[in-house]
Amino acid sequence: MKTIYRRLGVTTALALVSGLGGVSAAEAQEAAPLAGEARDGDIIVMAQKRAESVRDVPLAISAFSGETLEDANVTQLFDVQRLAPSLRIDLGARADKPRIVIRGIGSSGGTAIEPSVATFMDGVYIPREGATLATYLDIDAVEILRGPQGTLFGRNASVGAISLRSAAPRFENSGKLTAEYGTGNRFKLGGYLNVADGDKFAVRVAAQGENFEGLYRNALTGGRVGGVNSFAGRVSLRARFSEQVEDTLRVGYSQRRGNDYFTPYLLMPDTFPSAAGRATYLARFAGIGSNNVDLTPFDRTINQYVDDLLDEKQLQISNELAFTTDGDFQIKLISGVNRWEVNQRGHHVFGAETPTGIQYQHSRSTSHQEELQFITPDDFLMPGLSAVAGLYYFEEDLVIDEDFQIARDGCNLLFAGNPALGTCLAGSNSRATDVNYDQTTDSIAAYAQLTYKLAPTLDLTLGTRWSQDKKDALFDARPVQAIGAIFTGTETTPLALKQSRVTWRANLAWKPTDDAMLFASYTTGFKSGGFNSAASNVVLGQTREVRPETVKSYEIGAKTSWLDNALQLDVVLYQMDIKDFQDRAFTGVTFAVRNAGGVRNRGVETDISIRPADWFRLSGGVAYLDSEFTSYPGASALPGLPGTQDLKGTRPTFTPKWSGTLGAEFNGDLGSGMRWLLRGDMNFTSKANIGGVNDNNPDTVQDGYALFSARATLSGPDDRWSISLFGANLTDKGYCTSYAYQPFGALIGAQAGGHAALRCNVVGTPRTFGVAASFGF
């Protein structure tokens, strides 16, 4: 850790020295262009490492300015999916387990495998899904890049990337303070202060704090659960040392503390395998004095013992040094450090009224990156040629410690009448296991992308990237109590791999008119291999290694504008072929990562924006997805059945056939400088299998649903003040984000042969309301 901070300190010092040395008298310009909304309504994006209008980028991309995000009441990364139909973000049962999916492919957090959808904050890669949720503060723009981004964004953007850009300090004096109150006694206070010294130096301080009691009432205690106290802050410094050299340094810190029950993990009452199984299940619970098992997941009430704990901290440091020559040739050095640590304790394995099963989790990720970029102007070396090239280095130290304990009532619940009861009770006062996983990753890469004008309206882009990963890990586990053997065996396994891969991109873009662009592309992606870090009661040894996940993608698209830009319609047709898909299998106790085989996803994505008048705008999109396993010979069997099954030709989980978004925005003047704005959003998904395991179980299919949100805002002159009312899930739709089988279900009557097994579920957020007031200058 000290080495990583030392390297960042050296990098920042070099940036300052380089900046002080710039003395050229070139025309003043923004060395690091700010993402945001252009005058014609287009969004300026950095999808190809240079500032471009989203309408000129021949990629499948959705981009949203900070203003649009605020109007749609997007206050966290989770909310962005309201606006992007091919994006799905699900909160998991624990803070480190969100699932981020693009075009039906993604992965759940909490494992040693990196995500298939890479997330970047100000150009710095965030390697762990859980760490992405705390990065949303003072956001200026969000870009959703769909499809492999293996050339410019790296090895773990195999199906897409999310790029968040925080507001950089501006050369002006301004500030804003916002206070908010919402459902669950949620109090939130935040804002920013931007101070500038002419056009040479600016500092921006942004912060927000939240006190939240939770959305769910615990009938057992009368109090609320799901509460959290959080704080996030960022200090950004921007220095223009000369007309050629500019540096932006950002230091951010966030923390969350609460009872770790943000998304209740509850039973589905209609999924008992049989009447006899239900009777056995309820009798077991009655035997430990738990007579009111919670079977109503959508009533905002639970009836469980909750003594959960969350303690999460994150530190982010990034520096972007940009040097621009008189000929507009740009060199950037982007440096970053991210340290994310979370401690969790969870009791909701069985949802009983007394302590039963306890899970302890400690995760820590400390990462460091350096990226040196070279960005040429147009007509570089020869007419019609431009290029982007770079060198990249990344390292991460990862720790995952996960231990289990079965409390006395857990022993009675699982082993009543079983000879193992005495053994379980003897070790019920302390942890039953000691499971530790440590991993180091070193990755280097070099990339280049050339764009050449074959004709005034025809561009050819060719790009390639060479990546090399080196990983070393140690899985060390043992049962501390005799009963711990049901969770883990005694295993000490050193693991190592070294892999290299070349990914590339070919794209042809044709602009027959100023209002239309047609493009076709072939792209490959590469998700790094790794290791299965999960505990197992069978020693796995070297079989813990997981092969890389590779992708081949084909796209044909069109971006069109009509009626003097009042109507914009974009369409993309694609096919992605995934090889060695990294999947999770359920062992009956925990989850394990392995290679599943092949997946083919193909579909159509449409985005539309209609602005017939200044006072009205309609925007949205629809995505159609056809997904199937092209091979999966060793998939998990259905619950209660032995062996494996072949899932070839079946549909993977989390791949709805249809999904979409629709937003309507109205605004107007009230006189005296006052304005009003009303925005409503709807996002929908068709039925999909949302099981935590790919086993083609019809019991884990959820029907489609739609969610509605709205925000109404009254603003004063020059936006000096505003008052907003907002709400989400306005129809209070009950839905789940994922299903999981009841652990140890066979022991407590919750499992029968075939596909019948009692399901638990992670509950979606119910209806919420709030009011916010802001004051600015």
The pLDDT of residue 401 is above 50: yes
The total of other beta-carbon atoms located within 10 Å of residue 379's CB is: 12
Q: What is the pLDDT of residue 268?
A: 65
Angstrom CA distances, 443 to 184, 369, 373, 472, 501, stand at 44, 9, 17, 12, 11
According to DSSP, the β-strands at 301-302 and 216-218 are: parallel
Question: How far, in Å, CA of 659 to CA of 636, rounded?
Answer: 28
Question: How far, in Å, CA of 679 to CA of 724, rounded?
Answer: 11
How confident is residue 27, by pLDDT bands cut at 50, 70 and 90?
Answer: very low
Question: How far, in Å, CA of 126 to CA of 130, rounded?
Answer: 9
The gap from C-alpha 597 to its chain's centroid, in whole angstroms, comes to: 24
Q: Is the distance from CB of 433 to CB of 459 less than 8 angstroms? A: no
What the block records as the tokens of 511 is 């602009």
Angstrom CA distances, 611 to 92, 507, 661, stand at 37, 30, 17
- Higher pLDDT: 214 or 272? It is 214
Sign of the Cα torsion 28, 29, 31, 36 reads positive
Q: Is the distance from CB of 563 to CB of 608 less than 8 angstroms? A: no
Question: How far, in Å, CA of 544 to CA of 536, rounded?
Answer: 10
The pLDDT of residue 589 is above 70: no
The whole-chain average pLDDT of the chain stands at 89
User: What is the rounded average pLDDT of the residues 452-478?
Assistant: 97
Q: What is the pLDDT of residues 272-322, one digit of tens each?
A: 667 777 787 888 888 898 876 666 788 888 888 888 899 999 999 999 999
Which residues 6+ apart lie within 8 Å of 123 measured at CB?
46, 163, 318, 320, 334, 336, 371
According to DSSP, the β-strands at 385-406 and 357-375 are: antiparallel
Q: Alpha helix locations (H) across 302-461?
A: 408-415, 420-426
Phi, psi dihedrals of residue 52, rounded to the nearest 5°: -145, 155
The total of other beta-carbon atoms located within 10 Å of residue 61's CB is: 25
Q: Is the distance from CB of 342 to CB of 310 less than 8 angstroms? A: yes
Phi, psi dihedrals of residue 279, rounded to the nearest 5°: -65, -40
User: What is the rounded average pLDDT of the residues 420-439?
Assistant: 95
How confident is residue 261, by pLDDT bands cut at 50, 70 and 90?
Answer: low
Q: What is the pLDDT of residues 92-141, one digit of tens each?
A: 777 778 889 999 998 888 899 999 999 999 999 999 998 988 778 999 99
Count Cβ atoms within 10 A of the Cβ of residue 544 and give its class: 0-12 exposed, 13-18 middle, 19 or more buried. Answer: buried
Q: What percent of the chain has pLDDT over 90?
A: 71
What the block records as the tokens of 595 is 């290679």
Phi, psi dihedrals of residue 541, rounded to the nearest 5°: 55, -135
Task: Kindly report which listed range (3-12, 440-449, 498-507, 544-553) carries the lowest average pLDDT score.
Answer: 3-12
Question: How far, in Å, CA of 483 to CA of 728, rounded?
Answer: 45
| One-letter amino acid of 149 | Q
Q: Which residues of 182-207 are buried (b: 16+ CB within 10 A; e: fewer)?
A: bbbebebebbbebebeeeeebbbbbb
Q: What is the pLDDT of residue 23?
A: 35
According to DSSP, the β-strands at 545-546 and 582-586 are: unpaired
Element (H, E) at 283: helix 275-287
Sign of the Cα torsion 431, 432, 434, 435 reads negative
> Taking the CA of residue 738 as centre, how many other CA atoms within 13 Å lie in the half-sphere pointing to its CB?
26
The total of other beta-carbon atoms located within 10 Å of residue 481's CB is: 20
Query: What's the maximum distance between 2 C-alpha atoms anywhere in the chain?
Result: 86
Among 472, 504, 498, 580, CA closest to 116: 580
What the block records as the tokens of 499 is 């892999």
User: Which residue has tokens 């909701």?
Assistant: 348
Q: Is the distance from CB of 710 to CB of 729 less than 8 angstroms? A: no
* In CATH, 2-776 is 2.40.170.20: yes
Sign of the Cα torsion 606, 599, 461, 46 reads positive
Q: What is the pLDDT of residue 14?
A: 46
The pLDDT of residue 595 is above 80: yes
According to DSSP, the β-strands at 309-324 and 330-346 are: antiparallel
Strand partners, 19: none
Question: How far, in Å, CA of 695 to CA of 570, rounded?
Answer: 36
Strand partners, 676: 668, 714
Length of the chain: 777
What the block records as the tokens of 673 is 């400088």
Strand partners, 391: 372, 446
Question: How far, in Å, CA of 569 to CA of 607, rounded?
Answer: 6
- Write down the domain spans for the chain: 2-776
User: What is the rounded average pLDDT of the residues 652-658?
Assistant: 96
Task: Kindly report which listed range (154-163, 365-374, 427-436, 674-683) carries the lowest average pLDDT score.
Answer: 154-163
User: What is the rounded average pLDDT of the residues 163-175?
Assistant: 96
How confident is residue 38, by pLDDT bands cut at 50, 70 and 90?
Answer: very low
How confident is residue 3, by pLDDT bands cut at 50, 70 and 90?
Answer: low
Strand partners, 100: 89, 107
How confident is residue 327, by pLDDT bands cut at 50, 70 and 90?
Answer: confident
Among 227, 290, 218, CA closest to 260: 227
Q: What is the pLDDT of residue 144?
A: 96
The pLDDT of residue 678 is above 90: yes
Angstrom CA distances, 260 to 183, 310, 335, 410, stand at 18, 5, 32, 21
The pLDDT of residue 41 is above 60: no
Q: What is the pLDDT of residues 377-398, one digit of tens each?
A: 999 999 999 999 999 999 999 9
Q: What is the pLDDT of residue 262?
A: 58
Question: How far, in Å, CA of 132 to CA of 100, rounded?
Answer: 10
Q: What is the pLDDT of residue 529?
A: 93
Q: Alpha helix locations (H) across 309-457?
A: 408-415, 420-426
Q: What is the pLDDT of residue 760?
A: 74
**CA geometry: angle 412, 488, 596, nearest 5 deg:** 115
Angstrom CA distances, 394 to 49, 125, 157, 440, 441, stand at 18, 9, 14, 11, 8
Question: How far, in Å, CA of 631 to CA of 581, rounded?
Answer: 10
What the block records as the tokens of 353 is 């009224």
User: Which residue has tokens 């106790």?
Assistant: 589
How confident is residue 265, by pLDDT bands cut at 50, 70 and 90?
Answer: low
Q: Is the distance from CB of 485 to CB of 439 less than 8 angstroms? A: no
The gap from C-alpha 455 to its chain's centroid, in whole angstroms, comes to: 40
Task: Kindly report which listed range (166-170, 229-233, 258-262) carries the lowest average pLDDT score.
Answer: 258-262
Contacts 24+ apart (CB under 8 A), 449-453: 449/48, 449/151, 449/152, 449/387, 449/388, 449/389, 449/505, 450/385, 450/386, 450/387, 451/385, 451/386, 451/387, 452/384, 452/385, 453/383, 453/384, 453/385
Q: What is the pLDDT of residue 133?
A: 81
Q: What is the pLDDT of residues 599-613, one digit of tens each?
A: 999 999 999 999 999
SS3 110: coil
Q: What is the pLDDT of residue 263?
A: 63
Among 65, 104, 58, CA closest to 85: 104
What the block records as the tokens of 224 is 């609320």
How confident is residue 6, by pLDDT bands cut at 50, 70 and 90?
Answer: low
| One-letter amino acid of 369 | Q
